[in-house]
Amino acid sequence: MTPAARVQAAIEVLDLVIDAASERRAPADRIVTEWFRTRRFAGSKDRRAVRELLFRAIRACGPVPATGRAAMLRLVADDPSLASLFDGSRHGPEPVRDGEPVAEGGSAPAWLEKRLVASGMDAAELATLLDRAPLDVRVNSLRGTTPSLPENGEATHARLGLRYPPGTQVEQWDAWREGAIEVQDTASQLVCEALNARPGEQVIDLCAGAGGKTLALAAAMENRGRLLACDVDRARLSRLAPRAERAGATMIEARLLNPGQERAMLEDWQDAADAVLADAPCSGSGTWRRNPEARWRLDEAELERITRLQHHVLNLAAGLVRPGGRLFYVVCSVLDEEGPDQVARFLAENPDWRPVRPVLPAGNARGEGWRLTPFRDETDGFFVACLVSPC
């Protein structure tokens, strides 16, 4: 593919991403992979170049652009060297017309940017939300703590964390295939460390997803005790079993829950858990470095729906904690309504519960909890709070 053809290809994929975002369908990564699956003529360099253009354009636009071409022209405004590639060649984009629409820049749609600023995210914080993320791994102590790894890994704030450059192909390493390491952002690792799950305890990962935090908890518990991983998403939870086998995590019980029936399906765990990790569904604003188009999928109605769900998850989790046990509420968001405001509401409704602010080796206090951000801590954006059940 010529450089101009790569630009046109990125425009075509952007159109698909914009359309999918409006209906909350497939993410950009999956769309670009599927697009190339039917275009065998594109080599590996072409795929990398198109992907790079695609995500640069997504990061350059604040509100949802009208078209992929408008999004690419936003990128041209920031990088004029691309203008010459709009040359009208056979597979390239048409020349730029006077007055042609250009997508707006910014960090997010205006309403969302206002919410972020109100949550203490200044201009530097907002800009860093859209940087490229490094690749962090956690050394799996169930497989030993000294695997053979490339020497360019940098220690992170996490006890067993290492950081590598963006795009590192960790899945090609023997250490990954053997379960000696797991890909996990430093913020996620720190949350699991703060929970301090101990061997012999009874612990629930309430919104386990594919099980990244579950595996970290199993390692901390040294495969001793009970560890229940729950989720309402069958596809995501089904990925836990092969990951657990590779990691040597043998004490995990997975339980698929039906939406609206969670409490009844967890009746045997009521008032029983030493610790519950409630990694609640959220806007994902703290992970835009990895999924920058996610901010196009969010509107005020969706955020309101998410916050209602978080309130439900918090109350569901509270019923599972034994007297004197601990509830860790976590969201990968930097919006106050999803973090400190949710905790404040819970404490107002449950005054016998006691907040104990977790102190991590990175981040800062926010409300009754703790927040990490890409700008200050070089991690994903996370909020975590620890709530202790009345005895």
Consecutive H or E run containing 4: helix 3-22
Residue matched to tokens 């790569």? 6
* CA 178 distance to own-chain centroid: 24
φ and ψ of 338, to 5 deg: -95, -15
- Interacting residues of 97 by C-beta distance below 8 A, sequence separation 6+: none
Which token pair is 129? 């939300």
- Write phi, then psi, for 383 (nearest 5 degrees): -125, 135
Q: Alpha-carbon Rg of the chain, whole angstroms? A: 22
Rounded to 10 deg, the angle between the 3-22 and 28-37 helix axes is: 130
231 is annotated as contributing to ligand binding: yes
Question: Which amino acid appears at position 120 of this protein?
Answer: G
Rounded CA gap, 322 and 324, in Å? Answer: 6
Sign of the CA dihedral 177, 166, 62, 331?
Answer: positive
Kindly list the catalytic residues: 332
The Cα–Cα gap between 236 and 229 comes to 11
How many angstroms separate the CA atoms of 205 and 64, rounded?
Answer: 34
Paired tokens of 390: 């009345």
Using an 8 Å Cβ cutoff, are 327 and 317 in contact? yes
Q: Residue 380, annotated ligand binder?
A: no
| Enclosing H/E stretch for 68 | helix 68-78
- 217 burial level (CB within 10 Å; 0-12, 13-18, 19+): buried
CA 70 to each of CA 81, 85, 163: distance values in angstroms, whole numbers, following the listed order: 17, 15, 35
**Nearest C-alpha neighbor of 342 from the set 314, 375, 371:** 314
| Residue 231 phi, psi (nearest 5) | -165, 160
Binding positions for S-adenosyl-L-methionine are 231, 279
Binding positions are 231, 279
